[in-house]
Chains A and B, each alone.
Chain A
Amino acid sequence: MYGGGNTFEAQQMGGVENEDPIKLAEFEARIARGEKIEPNDWMPALYRKQLIRMIEQHAHSEIIGALPEGTWITRAPGFKRKLALMAKVQDEVGHAQLLYSAAETLGKPREKMIDDLLSGKSKYSNIFNYPTFTWADSCFISWLVDAGAIVNQLANSKGSYGPYCRALERICAEESFHLKYGHHCVIHMATGTPRQRKMMQEALNRWWGPMMHFFGPPDKASVHTEILVKWKVKMATNDECRQQFLDMYVPKIWELGLNIPDPNLKKNPETGEWEYTEPDWEEFKRVINGDGPCNAERLAVRRVAEERGAWVRKALLKPEAAYTTPLA
């Protein structure tokens, strides 16, 4: 599971001014009763648009996120690690399929989603624009990036859109293996030889900044925040997710004797909140906008895969094939 906590909202999105007030009231009452919204139900344009954006970004993150880990399959230390990493990467790509399907039920064809990924119009989790220099980087992703994503996706699985919730439930069910596998890998490195330990510490140093970026900048209430919370599209703030992650995983990192590269990181005993050095948000913006160490490589690999496979898909396409929006 790789879905980043931060969903990049559209700068320009209409509100609910033009919606039918009676239908809107029924829609909101349904959500208030705890019922799910299904693809055939009436929904405001803003709800549809933000959900497509969110689910699509999550799907892209799964498929792009498989690249930095997948690169280590051939060099994984030992047969068992190789098997496990292959299984994990296969799972992640499967998660992308589930999520693209959920987004499709909202009316955006998969072709358009892939176009938007390749053109850079749609985003994916920023953290995958960083390189995996060593096996220890792969271990970091398997444990802690997955852990961060789980924090976010568990919250989203309690949202209001039925197909997304069902996809997330299926995805979360597969996650316990990923998390345990990742933790196992990090433990092995951190408690291993001095060289292994050094590798793990260096990976932690490299990835801590991007990991803190992972949940997105502190929430500034946008014009739509209140209504997206009310509609159970946005289930937790970026800061809430970040705090939850720190609370669950900093002690586990520390118990392995690893040093988190932030001298200000500590839990305030009075507030119960973690205090930390703000990561470099300018870097975050730069990387989102395409200027990260691996943005070009990630999209190039994806584009080559799409273009190389095009003839196969074309050859297999039946003349009588017809596109139908998936049902649920």
Chain B
Amino acid sequence: MQSLDPRVNRLPIPESWGELRAKTPLDQLETYEVFHQAKPDKAFEHAGIVHAPNDDMAFLFGKEQYSRRGNTCSGIWTVATHKVMVTPYTEGDTSLYDLFEGEQQHAAQTEAYEIFHLKKRGKQHVHAGTVQASSYDDALAVAQATLNDGKMVYNAWVIKSSDFFKSNAEDVDMWNTLYEKKYREAIDYRAQDKINQFKEEQNLQNHG
């Protein structure tokens, strides 16, 4: 194979490939859910996922994937997908909390859980608040009592706070470099003047 790209020609591409072996499960590593905060006074929202080998890399990939372009990020949280407890989804006018019948445990030993609500179908889960609880069910019961504003909640995600990898408020300058990347902005590529000048020159040439 002869490529126009000298770098491709330097690759160890064999004359003929052996049989393509199917990738093994987890070849692409685990999935992590990424939550993004647009501004310091805004709630964290689910942004999407990344594949990563560990918390550190998930955070790094999450930052690269979901906080690019624009000055709209002040925080990123990531958590392994399998650590998210997902409630059943509800339909129509039935809110999740109308159906949930769990009771608060009021246990002596509690820890923090983050609660995310889906308040509109087609939109993202949004952070509703943090509760202290002894289990996932207990966390949902506490959320029912303290975070339920009576509006529709179609679904909730309950996640232990300790399972997150979170950016710190004092690290907010990690997004500052975005201000200097004008070459990544459409506004840096104005060219109408050049087109107009070109047309004028063409007119002059054609009509003398």
Instruction: Tell me, in angstroms, the Cα distance from A72 to B152 when the chains sit together.
Output: 51
In chain B, residues 154-184, which have Cβ atoms closer than 8 Å to a Cβ of chain A? 157, 181, 183-184
Give Cα A205–Cα B160 distance, bound, in whole angstroms: 59
Q: Which residues of A contact B27 (CB under 8 A)?
A: 111, 310, 313-314
Would A328 and B185 be within 8 Å (CB), given that A114-B23, A257-B198, A313-B29 are in contact?
no
Task: Type the 1/0 row for A177-213, where 1 means its CB is closer than 8 Å to any CB of B.
Answer: 1011101100110110000000000000000000000
B4, B191, B199: the one within 8 Å of A133 (CB) = B4
List A contacts of B198 (CB < 8 A).
187, 190-191, 256-257
User: Do B194 and A97 touch (CB < 8 A)?
Assistant: no
Tell me, rounded to whole Å, the shortest Cβ–Cβ distance linking A315 to chain B: 9
The answer to whether A162 and B122 touch (CB under 8 A), given A111-B24, A173-B69, is yes
Q: Please pick, from A84, A131, A184, A187, the residue contacting B184 in the complex, using a CB distance under 8 A.
A: A84
- Point out the residue from B25, B46, B68, B194 that lies within 8 Å of A187, measured CB to CB: B194
**A104 adjacent to chain B (CB < 8 Å):** yes
Cross-interface CB contact of A317 among B29, B69, B86, B202, cutoff 8 Å: B29
- Total number of B residues with any Cβ neighbor in A under 8 Å: 59
Chain B minimum-CB-distance residue to A34: B122
Which of A4-12, A272-280, A296-304 has 4 or more CB atoms under 8 Å from chain B? Answer: A296-304
Select one of A132, A165, A257, A328 contacting B125, CB under 8 A. A328
Asked if B12 CB lies within 8 Å of chain A CBs, one says yes
Does A167 sit within 8 A of B, measured CB to CB?
Answer: yes
User: Which A residue's beta carbon lies closest to that of B83?
Assistant: A324
A183 touches B189 (CB 8 A): yes
Our count of residue pairs bridging A and B at CB distance below 8 angstroms stands at: 165
Q: Mark A57-79, 1 if CB is under 8 A from B, else 0.
A: 00000000000000100100000
- A71 near B11 with CB under 8 A, answer no
Q: Does B119 contact A (CB under 8 A)?
A: no
> B183: which of A84, A324, A325 is its contact (CB, 8 Å)?
A84
Q: Which of B12, B30, B68, B125 contacts A321, CB < 8 Å? A: B30
Interface string of A95-121 (1 = CB under 8 A from B): 001100100100001111011001100
Q: Is A304 touching B12 in the complex (CB atoms < 8 A)?
A: yes
| A313 and B30 in contact, given A187-B191, A300-B1 (Cβ under 8 angstroms) | no
A21 to B12, CA, bound (A): 54
Q: Contact string, B50-73, partner A, CB cutoff 8 A, digits 1/0?
A: 110110010000001100110000
Residues of A close to B151: CB separation below 8 A: none
A84 to B188, CA, bound (A): 10
| A87-B184, A180-B186 as given contacts; A323 in contact with B26, CB under 8 Å | yes
Are A119 and B4 in contact, with the CB atoms below 8 A? no
Say yes or no: A110-B28 contact (C-beta < 8 A), given A35-B121, A316-B53.
yes
A268 adjacent to chain B (CB < 8 Å): no
CB atoms of A97 and B29 under 8 A apart: no
B200 CB to nearest A CB, Å? 11
Which residues from chain B contact A71 at a C-beta distance below 8 Å?
A: 4-5, 7-8
Is A174 engaged at the interface, CB distance under 8 Å to the other chain? yes
Chain A interface residue bracket vs B: 35 or more
Interface contact A101-B49, CB-CB below 8 Å:
yes
Q: Find the B residue at minimum CB distance from A80.
A: B183
Which B residue sits closest to A178, measured CB to CB?
B186
Map CB proximity to A onto B4-39 as digits: 1 under 8 Å, 0 otherwise.
110110011100010010111111111101000000
B53 touches A317 (CB 8 A): yes
Instruction: Tell whether, in the assembled complex, residue B184 and residue A177 are in contact, meaning their CB atoms are under 8 Å apart.
Output: yes
CA distance A130 to B95 in the complex (A): 53
- From B17, B48, B51, residue with most partner A Cβ within 10 Å: B48
The 4 closest A-B pairs by CB, nearest first: A36-B122, A316-B53, A111-B23, A180-B189
A114-B23, A297-B1 given; name 13 further pairs at CB < 8 Å: A87-B183, A114-B28, A165-B122, A177-B184, A181-B189, A187-B195, A191-B194, A191-B195, A255-B199, A321-B53, A326-B33, A326-B81, A327-B46
Show the binding face of A for B, using Cβ within 8 Å: 35-36, 38, 40-41, 71, 74, 80, 83-84, 87, 91, 94, 97-98, 101, 104, 109-112, 114-115, 118-119, 131-133, 162, 165-167, 170, 173-174, 176-177, 179-181, 183-184, 187-188, 190-191, 255-257, 296-297, 300-301, 303-304, 310, 313-314, 316-318, 321-328
Subset of 30 A-B contacts with CB under 8 Å: A35-B122, A71-B7, A94-B65, A98-B48, A101-B31, A104-B49, A110-B28, A111-B22, A111-B25, A165-B122, A174-B69, A177-B69, A177-B184, A179-B186, A180-B186, A180-B188, A183-B191, A187-B198, A191-B195, A301-B11, A310-B27, A313-B28, A314-B27, A316-B57, A318-B30, A323-B26, A326-B49, A327-B46, A327-B86, A328-B125
